[in-house]
Structure formats: structure tokens, C-alpha cells
Amino acid sequence: MASSQTATRTAWQIEARRVAHNIRSRVLALTLLQGGSYLSQACSSADILATLYTHVLKLGPSLGPLTPPRFVGVPGSPGYTSGGLYHGPHAPEYDRFFISPTHYSVAVYAALVELGRLAPEALAEFNTDGSIVEMIGGEHSPGLELTTGSFGQALSQAAGIAMARQRRGDTGRVFVFVSDGELQEGQMWEAFQQAAFYRQDNLAVFVDANGQQVDGRTEHVMAVEPLDAKLGAFGWQTCKVDGHDPAALAACVDAWEPGRPLAVLAYTKPTQGIDLLQERWPMLHYVRFKDAAERARYEAYLHEQLPLLPREG
Amino acid sequence: MEMVSNPHASNLVAWAKDRPEVVVLSGDLTGSTEIAPFKKAYPDRFFSMGLSEQNMVGFAGGLAREGYTPFLHTFAVFLYRRALDQIEMSVAYPKLRVRFFGFLPGITTPGGVTHQAIDDVGVLRPLPNMTILSTGDATDVESMLDAAQAVDGPVYVRMLRGELPRLFDRADPLVVGRARVISAGTDVTLLSEGICTEEAMRAARALQARGVGVQHLHVSTLKPFDDPAVIEAMAGARHGVITMENHSIIGGLGSAAAELLAGHGIGKRLVRIGIPDTYAHGASRPYLMKEYGLDAAALVAQVEALIGEKLGIDEQALAAVRLDAVNTQDKLEAL
């Protein structure tokens, strides 16, 4: 019995690592195709997203078309559809998942491709005119459901949704992906305070603590640490882990106790999986190649070190 | 004139009784926004959100996405100034059914610059999807809940509290998008909003007695601002149009009227009475209305200037004007 469980766990972890690898591979390929992208965000978040999507989240089948529709208008316009369709139906038993820093959209799109919820070709539409596969995605973009690219604004909205779900008696949970840089926004702490006050134990955040923001290292721009102590003092259950270890990330959720919201502090490297990026550190917010020679080195890296891995079996 | 005490307090409790989707959020101003009775009656539908307006607005957006209708209660300044990005991104863009009840519009508070919402309409009017309503009396306050709830999108309300006059018959509720026609006349068209309407009624009565025809409309819907009755009234004014608002002369009713005049090619003069592009200070309402020219006497002076005639209406004459609640539905039929 124990061994079969171990075998199952190992299998999902292998799959999570493959998905994470392919998120990096797809985003690097896109960066090469378009001459720039939010590559370091994909590097730091790939294992978090892969763990959530392949193991932690209980999502129903996607309701979004594999090939995303063109932009038809803002919410309320005829024909408008929410990007949340790609996370499946809203039902009491299913989890909800929201992305706070939508500068990570490219990593989410790549993850959806890996999950078979989005066609690989959809990624090539990234940041092209008329596409909903937007650079800093809106709530119509695949996998997104809230308007959150202005930092620090998702958790409050997710807390409202979690409150509504709690009142209805839904068993599904609400997960929010946030970055460490946006913890500089005061609204985040208003929301942390409020979720603990209302004992919202159906609400969890995963913090991609990559120590990185537009101007460089977070500790030099505006330090946010110690997050563990701060969030603990705010009344959250905290779990500090290696954000590149799927088993450790999942274990945080397994250890979630009733009565408190959960903050998983996932410490990551913004160059994880693409060592070449270390040359550019700490200026990694938006990777744009300087010249043809640099581009060629990344192209070679993609083919030699980071080719797409096929699904096992 | 009938005065009504705290009409919102009891009205909200009665109105929300069979509306389980209605939840009330308080920004630590439960007593000050007259929602203590709601909290007592429906504790499970009352959310204390503390002094965290940005979070309160986002939280409301989340609740609205799940089918609840949050009624936010706090002072107006703390909503549109402190949480504008959240109002735009978490509520207005997704066009959610969130109701912002902003108290202390304009100079209705001695709380000074920090508490006086003198530019809320100007700040919020450009927001797509936003409906902006304003209360001028007890009937407006009582009929506001039905009016706001009928709007499929966010609504911002300039809300009055405390002792309020009943200018309009209880059977004459506020209708979104329609101004109330209070008096008819062809010399001057007068558009008033909020607490200015009582002063405007006083002045209009005195002016009518001196033979000046005043077409007076009470505007409770500041956005959308496209009421054909308003356009017709402005076009028919011999001397010009006067707007009178408890707000900066920039961005509010006066600006909306200017847009409408220009857009319809109506070549009439426009006089904007309001807070004259200045921050105010802490003092009583009558004192500030006099200081900034928002009272009946100031309106009479503007009418005199517009028609080029001195009318000899003094403060005593204005104070002596007796106002009774009007039913503008009856009035419409009589017009």
C-alpha cells in the first residue's frame, strides 16, 4: 500500500517537473520568436504553477476553446468570454485559481498548453494585435479571471470570492498566486489582515519569492522580508519552502490546518532552468536580447539544454 | 416643510429584509453612515472592513462576482480618493453590481478638506460603466435603494444623512436618468443637485414672484446625463442656463451641462454655481454655502446678472419662502 502511494506521488512529481521544464522551454522559444518576454517570471514560477496545476488544484475540464477567440470587447460586450473558462466550471467542489501579477501571464499560458487546455499555436499569438493572449493579460485572457495587473489587487477580490463560497458552503478552495515585489503594496496587507480576521481558511496564497522586481533586487528596491514572520504575525499559517520542489510545495497544502488562511512562501531563483540568464542578473524584469550574438546563444541553449520533453508513457 | 430624521437607517433595514443577496460593508463608520440598525438586524450580512478602503473595494468586487450585491458605506472621500484604482479595476471594468454609498458630499461636513468630497463627480464621471446618483432630500434617500439596485453595473451615490427635508412627495420617487421638473418658466433654466436644490427652490419661488420664469430641474442622475427633458429645458431658456451643485464647478453638473449644451449646439450662456475651484475648510454648512456662493441669495444674484436686472430680493424675503413637498409627477401633468 505504502509503496503504491509512493509510486503515485513520484509519478505526479515527475509530471510536475516535466511541465515546469516545458513552461520554461515554451517561454524561451517565444522570447526568441518575439525578441523579448517575461522570461525570468517563467523561470521562477514554473515549478509553482506546475505543482498547482498538475497536483494541488481541483479544476474541472476547460470550457475554453483550444484556439482562443479574438478580442471582442470588455466585460459585458456581446460575445465576451472570461479567461476563467480555461480553469473549468465554477462548481462548489472545484477550486478557483487567480493570478495577481499578470506580468506572469506568459507562464500561465504555457502551463495551459502543457495541460492541454490551450493549443500550442495559441502561444505564438502572445502580444499580437487583436489577440486575447495579451502580454499583461486581462480577465478575458486564458487562465485569468480578475483584472489584476495593477499590483496587489487580486487578494482582496479573491477574499471576497472566498467569503461568498464560504457562505454558500462550497468545499472548493481559492488559491492566489502573488509575487514578492507586490507585497510592497499596502492593499496586500489590508487583505492579509482581513482574511485572517475573518478566519478565511478556504483561501491560500502562493508567493513567488524570487527577490526580483523591475529595478533589480527586491532587498535593494524595498525590502519585504521577513515574510514568514510578518505573515505569521498577521495570523496566517505560513509554509516556507524551496519553490522549485514540487513535493515540498504540495506538502505545504497538505499541512494546511482549519481556522487560518495559508501562505506558501515559495523561494525561487529568477534564472532557474536557464543558467544563461545569470549574466543579466539582477536586471531581469523583461528579457530583450541585446544583439544577434546573444540571441544565438539563447537559441543554442534552447535546443541543447531546454528542448520540450514529451509526456512519459 | 417636513424634516425627516435618518431616513436611510430604517429604510435600509426594511428594504433589505427579503433581499439576502444584499450585504453591507462598513469602513469603520457604521454609526456615521446610519447602518447600525442594519448591523443589528442582519449581523450575518454585515461586514466590518475596518480602515482599509482599497481592500474593501476589491473584496466587494469578489462578492459581486459571486452574486452578492455589496453596499459599501463610508465617507465619499475615502472611496474615490483612496481607492480609485480599485474602483476602476476591481469593479468598474468588470461592470459589477457594487453600490458605493459615499457620505458627506461637498461641504456638508465641518470636517474640512480631508472629509469634503468636492470633486467626486469629476473624478468618477469619466469611468466607463459607472452610474452616478445624488440625493437632495429624504425621498431621494428612501428611493435610492430601488433606483441603485435596478442598475446592472456599479453605482456611486452622493448620500445625505441625518435631518433631511422632504422636498419631494413620498409617492414621487427618484427615477434613474430622469430629472425632476420642479417649476416651469422660459427666462432661465436652473439645474440643481444635492443640497443645493432646497436653496434653489427657495430662490426660484422668490424669482417667480418677481415675474422671472424659472424652469427648475432637480438632477439626481449625474451619469448618464442625457435626459431629453434637460436638453429641452436648456434649449428653451431665453437668458441662459444656471447649474448649482454642491461640488467643484469643474467636472460635475456644470461641466456635464456644458458638454450637453455644446454637443447639441445649444447656444445658451451657462453660469456654473458651485465650489469655485478651491479646496474648502472646516466650518458649518450654512457658513460654507454662503462663503462659496451656494445658497439662495447667491443664486438670485447670478440670475440678476444673467438677465441684467436688479430684483430687490433680500435675505429676509428668501428666508420667508415657505417650501412644501412637491410631487413632480403631478407637476409634469400640470405643465
Q: Are residues B156 and B204 in the same domain?
A: no
Q: Domain tally for chain B?
A: 2
A188: nearest CA partner in chain B:
B55
Interchain proximity B64–A75, CB inside 8 Å: no
Q: Is residue B174 part of a domain?
A: no
**Residue B151 near chain A (CB below 8 Å):** no
- The pLDDT, as a whole number, for residue A3 is 42
Domain-by-domain residue ranges, chain A? 2-305
How large is the ipTM? 0.93
Q: What Å distances lie between residue A89 and A61, A250, A272, B108, B186, CA to CA?
A: 7, 23, 33, 48, 60
Task: Quickly state the pLDDT bin for B334 (edges 50, 70, 90).
Answer: very low
Per-residue pLDDT band for B302 (boundaries 50, 70, 90) equals very high
What does the alpha-carbon distance between residue A38 and residue A42 come to, in Å, rounded to a whole number? 7
Query: Is B175 a domain residue?
Result: no
Q: B107: closest CA among B82, B76, B84, B129?
A: B76
- Identify whether residues B91 and B203 lie together within a single domain: no
Claim to verify: residue B144 and residue B84 sit in the same structural domain? yes
Closest CB from A165, A190, A194 relative to B66: A165
Q: Which of residues 302-321 of B touch A (CB under 8 A)?
A: none
**3-class DSSP state of B175:** coil
Contacts of A186 in chain B (CB under 8 A): 54
> In which order are the strands placed within the sheet that holds B240-248?
B180-183, B214-218, B188-192, B240-248, B270-275
Mean pLDDT of B116-129: 98
Local confidence band at B95 (pLDDT 50, 70, 90 cut-offs): very high
In a domain, B225, yes or no: yes
Same domain for B231 and B159: no
Cβ <8 Å between A194 and B55: yes
- Residues B212 and B147 both lie in one domain: no
Residues B82 and B138 in one domain: yes
Between CA B306 and CA B214 the distance in angstroms is 12
B16 and B103 assigned to the same domain:
yes
* Preferred mutation among B66, B93, B96, B130 to probe A, highest tally of A CBs within 10 A: B66
Let me know if residue B170 belongs to a domain. Answer: no
Residue A124, all three cell numbers: 505564438
Task: Please list the rounded mean pLDDT of every run of 10 residues in chain A (313 residues).
Answer: 53 96 98 93 98 98 97 96 98 98 97 98 95 96 96 98 98 98 97 98 98 93 97 98 98 98 98 95 90 95 96 70
- Chain B CA closest to residue A139: B94
CATH number at residue B185: 3.40.50.920
pLDDT of residue B324: 84
Task: Judge: B52–A146 Cβ closer than 8 Å, yes or no.
Answer: no
Percent of chain B with pLDDT over 90: 94
**What pLDDT, on the 0 to 100 scale, is given for residue A144?**
97
* Preferred mutation among A74, A81, A187 to probe B, highest tally of B CBs within 10 A: A187
Rounded to whole angstroms, the Cα distance separating B257 from B273 reads 12
The verdict on residue B285 lying in a domain is yes
B154 and B222 together in one domain:
no
Inter-chain touch B67–A163, beta carbons under 8 Å: no
A146 grid coordinates: 480578475
Domain hosting B141: range is 3-165
pLDDT beyond 90 at B335: no
- Residue B316, burial from CB neighbour count under 10 angstroms (0-12, 13-18, 19+): exposed
Q: Which of B165, B198, B218 is the last residue of a domain?
A: B165
Question: Do A106 and A27 touch, CB atoms closer than 8 A?
Answer: yes
* Test mutation, A146, A148, A157, A165, chain B, max B CBs within 10 A: A157
- The predicted pLDDT at position B41 comes to 98
In a domain, B171, yes or no: no
Residues B210 and B286 in one domain: yes
Same-domain pairing of B143 and B214: no
Inspect the interface and report whether the beta carbons of B52 and A193 lie closer than 8 Å.
Answer: yes
Facing A190 at nearest CB: one of B52, B66, B89: B52
Task: Tell me which of B141, B165, B189 is where a domain ends.
Answer: B165
Average pLDDT rounded to a whole number, residues B186-205: 97
Cell matching residue B39: 448591523
CATH number at residue B145: 3.40.50.970
CA B43 to chain centre: 29
Residue B330: which pLDDT band, with cuts at 50, 70 and 90?
low
Residue B322, domain member (yes or no): yes
- H/E element holding A26? helix A2-34
Check whether residue B125 and residue B197 sit in a common domain: no
Query: pLDDT tens across B153-189, in order?
Result: 999 999 999 999 999 999 999 999 999 999 999 999 9
> Does the domain at residues A2-305 carry the CATH identifier 3.90.79.10?
no
Which of B165, B196, B218 is the last residue in one of the domains? B165
Q: Which three cell numbers stand for residue B203?
A: 430662490
- Residue B107 inside a domain? The answer is yes
Between chain A and chain B, the number of residue pairs with CB atoms below 8 A apart is 100
Q: What is residue B328's predicted lDDT score, i.e. its pLDDT?
A: 79
